[in-house]
Structure 1
Amino acid sequence: MEKKKISRQQVYTLVVQIGRKEGDGLPKGATGAALMIFASGIDEAEAVRETVAILKQADTAPLDVTGYGTLAEREAEGHEIDDEERALMQRALEENSVIVAHMTPFFGDEQSTVL
């Protein structure tokens, strides 16, 4: 009988601001976007590094990353986290992956005022 390997991975909530880049898939006229991401990692720094690397591979231009911590840290801060978010966080943990949960495109001068 195999013992299940204990993972030190946790899931971090990140908001990544991206700029425009050819082939980025953003809507016409958008100046960039904010992506809410659930990313697994041993620590937040690893989750950020993995997320930025994957976003660059996906032909986006990450500009800024803001970390909001783990599920427990967000709950301690009083964040309301719905069942859909919890399910996506669990999936990111199980798959050791980066999941884009939500994308908000920026139009005009919005990019400098958000985040």
Structure 2
Amino acid sequence: MTEKKKKTSQVYTLVVQVGRKEDDGLPEGATSAALVCYAAGVDEAEAVRETVAILKQAGLAPLDVTGYGSAEDRKAEGQEIEPDEAELMDRAKRENAVIVAQMTPFYDDE
């Protein structure tokens, strides 16, 4: 009998651009927004799928996702991860969740 190897979850840093949608909760006058998310997944593709699904459930309109790798990937590239960011990543992993850490609305300058 072969033993199935349990895939371990990692936390990935994603930036999701969202467009406008009725009742999306974005500030009045914003044309879109960027969300920094920490998402748990066995790989980045799963983290992206879960994040998009959760954001759609929340009434947002995801347009584009940029992945910045796992915490380990980022550390290997020499990036520093601040304690508050590390805490949110730990929470995402513990809860097998998607955490929206930051939202930056964008406005047209017209």
TM-score normalised per structure 1: 0.87
What SS class does the counterpart of residue 30 from structure 1 fall into?
A: coil
In structure 1, what is the equivalent of residue 3 of structure 2? none
Shift of 1:104: 0.4
Residue 46 (1) aligns with residue 46 (2): yes
| Alpha-carbon distance between aligned partners in 1 of 2:45 and 2:11, rounded to the nearest angstrom | 12
In structure 1, what is the equivalent of residue 68 of structure 2? 68
In structure 2, what is the equivalent of residue 13 of structure 1? 13
| Alpha-carbon distance between aligned partners in 1 of 2:78 and 2:32, rounded to the nearest angstrom | 29
In structure 1, what is the equivalent of residue 107 of structure 2? 107
- 2:33 partner letter: A
Shift of 1:80: 2.0
- Size of the aligned set, in residue pairs, is 104
Residue 25 (1) aligns with residue 25 (2): yes
Identity of counterpart residues, as a percentage?
68
In structure 1, what is the equivalent of residue 98 of structure 2? 98
Q: CA RMSD in A?
A: 1.1
- 1:18 partner letter: V
Runs (5+) with no aligned partner, structure 2: 1-5
- 1:77 partner letter: E
What SS class does the counterpart of residue 50 from structure 1 fall into?
A: helix
- 1:37 partner letter: C
Residue 57 (1) aligns with residue 57 (2): yes
Residue 34 (1) aligns with residue 34 (2): yes
